[in-house]
Amino acid sequence: MKIYESGENYLETILILTKRKGQVRAIDIVNEMGYSKPSVSVALKQFRENGYIETDSNGFITLTDAGLEIAKKMYERHQVIAEILMWLGVDEETAYADACKIEHDISEKSFNCMKEYYLKNKNKSKN
């Protein structure tokens, strides 16, 4: 199954909520993302069927290794791109909003080059 932008956002949100709350249920995703309960339910069913998440008998959602890999990749991209944008002078709110859009479309090669350049140069401009 090809994961599209919305799917990447779901998996990243599950990762973020897990870090924040420890345990995640569907209602937490509804509240965080602002989607309807039926939409989240359909998406989670697809993720379960495709091996990206598991749900226990209490309704708690965990990412499988495959789901965690995608979520971590998106989370890293989101954080690094937002940091780069803020380093360039963009305000925090705009930087995070734009990073969310960019993270899904940028190639691995371009992201890695941007990240490498940023990590090499971020302290130089502060002097």
Spatial separation of the C-alpha atoms in residues 74 and 87, rounded to whole Å: 20
Give 125's pLDDT tier (boundaries 50, 70, 90): low
How distant is the alpha carbon of residue 72 from its chain centre?
Answer: 7
Provide the whole-model pTM.
0.84
Q: What are phi and psi of 3, to 5 degrees?
A: -90, 125
Mind listing the pLDDT tens digit for each residue in 28-52? 999 999 999 999 999 999 999 999 9
pLDDT at 5: 74
Mind listing the pLDDT tens digit for each residue in 60-112? 999 999 999 999 999 999 999 999 999 999 999 999 999 988 988 899 999 99
Task: Answer whether residue 53 shows pLDDT above 60.
Answer: yes
Domains in the chain, ordered, with CATH?
5-69 (1.10.10.10), 75-122 (1.10.60.10)
Signed CA dihedral, 85, 91, 94, 96: sign only: positive
Check if the beta carbon of residue 61 is closer than 8 Å to that of residue 67. Answer: no
Q: Once rounded to an integer, what is the mean pLDDT over residues 8-20?
A: 95
